[in-house]
Structure 1
Amino acid sequence: MPSIRKGLLQLVFSGSFMKRWNDKLRPMELVEMDKQGHKMIVAWALGELAAQGLPEDQAVRLREDIVRGGIFDYLYRLVITDIKPPVFYQIKANPDHYGRLTAWVLEQLRPRVQPLGREFWDDLCAHCHRQGREEESLAESILAAAHLFASRWEFHLIRPLNPWDDEMAEIEANFQQGLVRRQHLAGVADLLEAPATALGRFVTLCGTLRFQKRWSQTPRIPETSVLGHMFLVACLAYFFSIVVGACSARRCNDFYAGLFHDVPELLTRDIISPVKGSVAGIDDLIREYEKRELERRLFAILDTPVTRPLADSLRYLLGLEVGSEFCDLVTLDGRPACVNWEQLQGTFNEDRFAPKDGRMLKICDQLAAFLEAYTSKTHGVVNDHLQQALWRIRSRLGQEALTEEVHIGALLADFD
């Protein structure tokens, strides 16, 4: 029976400590979890464009290959954190050296990842051993292009601050060449011209969520961003969808719903939950404002023949037509419809209904906040806000159970 343990949650969250471009002058700290969030937003966009016209079963398979491949690459990256990219690429070019490195990486990951189940673990092992040995699949090409774009986006932040660095020109050329090699993918040409194109403007706007810090008035270690938080929630949502037995389409929708759930905060800042819950009517007011501004500033960007499918998918993931991203959702007769948990687990747990969890997404959002507060406390930075958050989340989730085998309170007890 697949299960989720404390070690896996802490492993995924550890990317918020992992600094990027550490040998360059930077305008701000750039961390791995933020980059992964941006990468997967780009991968979602490229994947949706590639899925247009595919039979539904192939489209679902492509989406899950992208999601799993992105998670697998991230887990691998977390273990080899101290190896600089140029050195890693040289290792990867030597099958024997790469095979030995991969065997060691998988041994480090095994105790924390294998509890998710044999299928996920076997897929992870196969994915890692396959890298560099075979021609890129469509999903792998999409992930590579997304990685290059997200990394180049960060590079353009630091390039003006490092005019004396003789590596700058070579780094820029490598990013450009890598993207040009993948111009056969729908959308990559638009990324090369970002932010001058609709797709380029959209992914650039999403990338700015790394600038926005969560808990902005509360000292914490680490100071996670909205972008990194969204990626964390996406990973948790995917892991929980595995352990509750969700179908493939539901697993993918849960990942992407987590990845985009705080996109409205591009427009309203990260308004803390106690404020939303304590001031009568303010939550509805904020939601109405967010919806209006999303249409004006985000969906207007995507209102082109090429990117309109992205807008439709994003509306579904955000639950805009039913009023909340935390509604359990399916597609019936081409329209979104709210259902209850039992229906989602039973009748509608099939790819053809495009099911998406809402209640479970809310739990993952709160678990991510718990991880942020708990980690800060373990590093010696604690205050009333963090203590109250930990107490509030434990109180809310202590008795929550998704199935008889998946009890959130038992998972939280691992942190006692």
Structure 2
Amino acid sequence: MIRKSLIMKIFDAAYMQRWNDRLRPIELTELDKQAHKMFIAYFIGKFEETSHEFNWLEVIEGGIFELLQRIIITDIKPPVFYKIKSDADKYRKLNEFVFTELKTFISPLGDSFCRRFKDYFLATDDTLSKKVLGAAHIYASKWEFDIIERLSPEGYEIKEIKEDFVNRIEVYSSRLEGMRQLATHSSYRNFIDLCGHLRFQSRWAQLHRIPKTSVLGHSLFVAILSYLFSLEMGACPRRCFNNFFTGLFHDLPEVLTRDIISPVKRSIEGLSDLIKEYEKEQMERVLYPMIPKEYLHEIKMFAENEFSNVVTINGKHENTTCEDINHKYNYNECNPRDGKLVKAADELAAYVEARVAIENGCLSEEFQRAKWTIKNKYETSNIGGIDFGEIYADF
């Protein structure tokens, strides 16, 4: 079972500053970067998913494992990290240290999860799933670097860093169709760019809060929680995939409408539905034309009606319950998605944000209200076998 300690450890990534030896116009955090990486991994992975070598759960778990590794080793500069990684013995010892530091946090998830975590860093990087994650990592880092370069184009090592990024992207472009598609289609690059813009939108923007988190970082937090809950309930691989990427994409429309807080949406009858309709219109007009038609339907499922439980029967989406999915539809061919579970993960993430803000001295009445409202809502809630009351009791 996922415990408070792991939830809070994942949230530590919101504090971690990237490029902190460079002049930056905005804060660049690890949580945001890892979130953008997973958006990019989804795009690249869609061009590889028909290969028998490719596995979506390896991509998802690899992204989670790499985030946890980064949280422990913090801000080791890439040249130093790659130097360590080139020495198999030193890299093994580094990851033994990482596992030792994380063991108490991840052990409640079970022996199988812990074993996969350890094996991931011992295995070769030459698998298709790891290539997709590697390419997404480089692309997301280069996206951040472009911001820094504009501010200081003649800065120390800027030229060398840029050349290294260009070389690494060329290598991945020679191996992955998705990278070649990004290179040749400006609309695809614009889609990735728009996803990245979610990092410019602050959560709880009207309130002073430490740490500040973005819609982008929040989306990854929700996605990870959704995936870990899915594992706990014994979800089939497709259900795990759908729940993770629904968590990741659920706030994508806000890149066009901004993050409108729930009290405002509830303040006027029908306002929430009006905003939802406007989001859909903007997605149809601006964002959907950027996405390959082959999987546009999938992103629509992730970003529209994202909190409904659905299965696919005879090619049509049907609403159902998490319990029915558990007992009747927990099969890949049913394409199940637990929207209610993703909603619970979304609100748990909001609860953590409010609670941490209060602990850090941000004593707004709105944080207090959000903290108690969310906790009271879920203290007796069980969704698909996940006892949320027990999770909130941990806090």
Q: TM-score per shorter chain, which class? A: over 0.9
Q: Determine the C-alpha separation between the residues in 2 that align with 1:83 and 1:331.
A: 45
Q: Determine the C-alpha separation between the residues in 2 that align with 1:251 and 1:403.
A: 13
Matched with 2:363 is 382
Q: Determine the C-alpha separation between the residues in 1 that align with 2:242 and 2:126.
A: 24
Aligned: 1:287 with 2:280:
no
SS of 1:295 mapped into structure 2:
helix
Give the aligned CA root-mean-square deviation in angstroms. Answer: 1.4
Aligned: 1:340 with 2:321:
yes
Q: Determine the C-alpha separation between the residues in 1 that align with 2:163 and 2:338.
A: 42
SS of 2:318 mapped into structure 1:
strand
Taking every aligned residue pair, what percent have the same amino acid on both sides?
A: 40
Q: Determine the C-alpha separation between the residues in 1 that align with 2:283 and 2:372.
A: 33
Q: Determine the C-alpha separation between the residues in 2 that align with 1:198 and 1:228.
A: 23
- Aligned-pair distance for 1:120? 1.3
Matched with 1:269 is 258
Aligned length: 394
Matched with 2:136 is 146
- Aligned-pair distance for 1:380? 1.3
Matched with 2:89 is 96
Q: Deviations over 1:355-379 (max 9, x none)?
A: 1111100000000001101111111
- Aligned-pair distance for 1:163? 3.2
Aligned: 1:369 with 2:367:
no
Correspondence for 2:9 among 4, 7, 11: 11
SS of 2:311 mapped into structure 1:
strand
Check whether the contact 1:21–1:30 (CA below 8 A) recurs between aligned residues: yes
Q: Deviations over 1:376-398 (max 9, x none)?
A: 11111121110111011112111
Check whether the contact 2:210–2:357 (CA below 8 A) recurs between aligned residues: yes
Q: Determine the C-alpha separation between the residues in 1 that align with 2:376 and 2:251.
A: 23
Check whether the contact 1:222–1:376 (CA below 8 A) recurs between aligned residues: yes
Matched with 1:67 is 60
Check whether the contact 1:237–1:254 (CA below 8 A) recurs between aligned residues: yes
Correspondence for 1:358 among 311, 324, 339: 339
Matched with 1:121 is 114
Check whether the contact 1:316–1:336 (CA below 8 A) recurs between aligned residues: no
Matched with 2:151 is 161
Q: What amino acid is the match of 1:229?
A: H
Check whether the contact 1:47–1:62 (CA below 8 A) recurs between aligned residues: no
Q: Deviations over 1:80-103 (max 9, x none)?
A: 003221111111111111111111
Q: Determine the C-alpha separation between the residues in 1 that align with 2:125 and 2:143.
A: 26
Which structure dedicates a bigger proportion of its chain to helix? 2
Correspondence for 2:180 among 178, 183, 189: 189
Q: Deviations over 1:170-220 (max 9, x none)?
A: 111111111111113112023345xx6221110011101100001110111
Check whether the contact 1:330–1:354 (CA below 8 A) recurs between aligned residues: yes
Q: Determine the C-alpha separation between the residues in 2 that align with 1:153 and 1:225.
A: 17
Q: Determine the C-alpha separation between the residues in 1 that align with 2:198 and 2:130.
A: 25
**1:195-344 equivalences in 2 (<5 Å):** 197-302=186-291, 307-318=292-303, 320=304, 324-344=305-325
Q: What amino acid is the match of 2:308?
A: C
Check whether the contact 1:261–1:325 (CA below 8 A) recurs between aligned residues: yes
Of 165-174 and 257-266, the range deviating more from structure 2: 165-174
Q: Deviations over 1:148-172 (max 9, x none)?
A: 0000000000112223423111111
Check whether the contact 2:125–2:131 (CA below 8 A) recurs between aligned residues: no
Q: Deviations over 1:68-118 (max 9, x none)?
A: 111111111110003221111111111111111111110001100111112
Give the structure-1-normalised TM-score. Answer: 0.92
Check whether the contact 2:326–2:384 (CA below 8 A) recurs between aligned residues: no
Q: Determine the C-alpha separation between the residues in 1 that align with 2:119 and 2:293.
A: 35
Matched with 2:379 is 398
Matched with 2:34 is 36
Check whether the contact 1:179–1:192 (CA below 8 A) recurs between aligned residues: no
SS of 1:187 mapped into structure 2:
helix
- Aligned-pair distance for 1:311? 1.4
Q: Deviations over 1:317-358 (max 9, x none)?
A: 22x3xxx11111111112222111221111100111111111
- Aligned-pair distance for 1:135? 4.8
Matched with 2:164 is 174
Q: Determine the C-alpha separation between the residues in 1 that align with 2:265 and 2:278.
A: 13
- Aligned-pair distance for 1:403? 5.1
Q: Determine the C-alpha separation between the residues in 1 that align with 2:202 and 2:146.
A: 21
Check whether the contact 2:181–2:188 (CA below 8 A) recurs between aligned residues: yes
Check whether the contact 1:48–1:309 (CA below 8 A) recurs between aligned residues: no
Give the structure-2-normalised TM-score. Answer: 0.97
Q: What amino acid is the match of 1:72?
A: F
Q: Determine the C-alpha separation between the residues in 1 that align with 2:125 and 2:59.
A: 16
Check whether the contact 2:322–2:384 (CA below 8 A) recurs between aligned residues: no
In structure 2, stretches of 5+ residues that fail to align are none
Matched with 2:45 is 47
Check whether the contact 1:187–1:199 (CA below 8 A) recurs between aligned residues: no
Aligned: 1:408 with 2:393:
no
